[in-house]
Structure 1
């Protein structure tokens, strides 16, 4: 990915600025590819993330705080994401028996089945995004990302 070509400049961009632009361009490309893979399921990347978190609960309830803490993209509209997943039949929300103010959220069988199909699509996205990288490249890249 040539930063200068993408932003259509012939001017040399200072290294630090070029790096940040490059990171933004890569992030946007990853989001574009993954979003397109999820489009047939009518699920956003954030909704997919919620479903994965709920699957990871292994049948135990999660609450909005748990979801917010574990989201890859931190956001304040987790309630709206859960509402949309409820409408699709992928998630159930119930009041906690011991504390009526606490909401418990579970993934449904339908949600688990749909998530298995989404997993296949996302694996395809991963392969597309990372096709030019060796395992050694990915190890180095992750070590560099760990510096953030």
Structure 2
């Protein structure tokens, strides 16, 4: 049985609005998903931010992306992407090479090891996501996706 935000938070008084309850529910759900995904990554010896970069760079293809482009695509914003990329380069997951045409541009690309790791994670990530959301019907998932997109669109325009 699911609980509402006031129940989860052990509130003695009702929340002020449905919007407040919805926002608190989103925060709590987001944090639970974040905690579970971070634990998944930690068990495998890397961070959720590193997995996010691997996924982003795989999607970028052979041309790679510059630091700022990676920063813009990260799900969770972080101030020091350079340090994150340094650690990933030391681990042999990514490689950075200065552009021959623009010395200021330093694209980051996956190494063979980074590509293998992100590919190896595809199955376990799908399994993890199904364990989190597989109890929802396709219709519920579509509604959730569409509702979140509408919320994001509004927030991005403010």
TM-score, normalized by length of structure 2? Answer: 0.85
- 2:36 pairs with 1:33: yes
Partner of 1:22: 25
- Output the CA distance in 1 between the equivalents of 2:122 and 2:80: 24
Out of 88, 101, 120, the residue aligned to residue 123 of structure 2 is 120
Q: Which runs of 5+ in 2 are unaligned?
A: 152-158
Measured in 2, the distance between the counterparts of 1:22 and 1:145 equals: 13
Q: 1:88 aligns with which of 72, 76, 91?
A: 91
How do 1:1-148 and structure 2 match up within 5 A?
1-2=2-3, 3-14=5-16, 15-148=18-151
CA root-mean-square deviation: 1.6
- Structure 2: distance between partners of 1:21 and 1:28: 11
Per-residue CA deviations over 1:90-129 (Å, capped at 9, x if unaligned) read 0011222222222121100100111122222221220111
Give the 3-state SS of the residue equivalent to 2:120 in structure 1: helix
- Secondary structure at the aligned position of 1:59 is classed as helix
CA deviation string 1:38-93 (max 9, x = no partner): 11222222211111111112211311122122222233321122111112110011
Task: Tell me the secondary structure at the aligned position of residue 103 of structure 2.
Answer: coil
Structure 1 partner of 2:154: none
Higher relative contact order, chain-length normalized (CA < 8 Å, sep 6+) = 1
Supply the distance in 2 between the matched residues of 1:77 and 1:118 (Cα, whole angstroms).
Answer: 25
Q: TM-score, with normalisation over the residues of structure 1?
A: 0.90
